[in-house]
């Protein structure tokens, strides 16, 4: 149980505390980097240190859980977006969530590198998860004729990764959104 997970479902209050810790950890690690103290994260989450350590016994367990949670939230957004919006609009909205995910990941880059150097792999199958989410969105768009069918989710994923690499910083958000719009325009089906 090194990642802070449990075999049985958490009580509602325990789940809320866990979610508050994960959200606070993203903010604190983004602001303070590797030097962030776990006590600062607990305070930012509004929980005691004991609650944080009960959920995440080590710094590495917390970092890995934060990263995995960010990926899971990004991928879990797909069904809700498709239910609430036409497929192309859902894809557009999801690419903005992708930018949010990249910004959080970028802010924690040093922390993630340190965890990876210590022998842990917080990335796991995140690329595959993101590609599956993107494929679901692209399949829905293709089914209604909104996008070209000659571009694979792997190609689109590579384009998103390229945008992320070149425009991940918060001060580059406007540029990243323009690049996303350009990419999505290239994906759009033409008569």
What DSSP letter does each residue of 114-177 carry, written as one string? HHHHTT--TTTTHHHHHHHHHHHHHHHHHHTT-B-SSS-HHHHHHHHHHHHHHH-SGGGHHHHH
pLDDT at 167 over 70: yes
- Whose tokens are 């049985």? That residue is 8
DSSP 85: S
Residue 191 CB neighbours (<10 A)? 3
Averaged pLDDT, 53-61: 88
Rounded to two decimals, the pTM is 0.79
Distance of alpha carbon 79 from alpha carbon 186, whole angstroms:
24
C-alpha gyration radius of the chain: 18
Q: Chain-wide mean pLDDT for the chain?
A: 86
Q: Which CATH architecture has domain 61-187?
A: Orthogonal Bundle (1.10)
List all residues 6 or more positions away from 97 whose beta carbon is below 8 Å from its beta carbon.
Answer: 74, 77
What band does 164 get if pLDDT is binned at 50, 70 and 90?
confident
pLDDT tens readout for residues 69-117 = 888 999 999 999 999 999 999 999 999 999 888 877 766 666 666 666 6
Percent of the chain past pLDDT 70, that is, above it, reads 85
Domain residue extents for the chain: 61-187
pLDDT at 65 over 90: no
Distance of alpha carbon 129 from alpha carbon 72, whole angstroms:
8
**Strand partners of residue 188:** 147
Q: Alpha-carbon dihedral of residues 148, 79, 104, 122, nearest 10 degrees?
A: -100
Distance of alpha carbon 28 from alpha carbon 70, whole angstroms:
15
């Amino acid at each position: 149980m090194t990642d802070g997970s449990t075999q049985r479902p958490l009580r509602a209050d325990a789940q809320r505390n866990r979610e508050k810790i994960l959200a606070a950890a993203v903010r604190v690690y983004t602001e303070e980097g590797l030097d962030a103290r776990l006590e600062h994260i607990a305070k930012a989450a509004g929980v005691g240190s004991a609650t944080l350590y009960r959920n995440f016994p080590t710094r590495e367990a917390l970092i890995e859980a934060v990263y995995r949670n960010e990926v899971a939230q990004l991928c879990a957004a797909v069904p809700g977006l498709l239910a609430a919006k036409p497929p192309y609009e859902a894809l557009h909205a999801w690419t903005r969530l992708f930018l949010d995910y990249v910004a959080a990941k970028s802010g924690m880059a040093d922390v993630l590198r340190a965890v990876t150097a210590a022998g842990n792999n917080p990335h796991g199958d995140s690329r595959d998860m993101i590609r599956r989410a993107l494929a679901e969105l692209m399949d829905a768009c293709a089914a209604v004729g909104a996008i070209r069918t000659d571009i694979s989710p792997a190609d689109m994923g590579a384009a998103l990764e390229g945008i992320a690499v070149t425009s991940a910083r918060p001060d580059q958000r406007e540029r990243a959104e323009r690049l996303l719009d350009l990419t999505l325009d290239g994906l759009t089906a033409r008569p």
